Amino acid sequence: MQVCVQILTEQFILPLPSLHPFFLYSQCERIYGSDGFLRAYDYLRSARSKGFSDEGQVMAGLKNIVDNVRDGFLIDQLIFLENQAHTPD
Does 60 reside within a domain?
Answer: yes
Range of the domain at 37: 19-85
Q: Say yes or no to pLDDT of 73 above 50.
A: yes
Kindly report the pTM of this predicted structure: 0.71
Residue 49 lies in a domain: yes
Q: According to DSSP H, which parts of the chain are helical?
A: 2-9, 20-49, 55-63, 72-85
pLDDT in tens, 58-69: 899 999 998 888
Is there a contact between 6 and 30 (Cβ–Cβ < 8 Å)?
Answer: no
Q: How many domains does the chain fold into?
A: 1
Instruction: Name the pLDDT band for 89 (thresholds 50, 70, 90).
Output: low
Residue 62: inside a domain: yes
Helical packing angle, 72-85 and 20-49, nearest 10°: 90
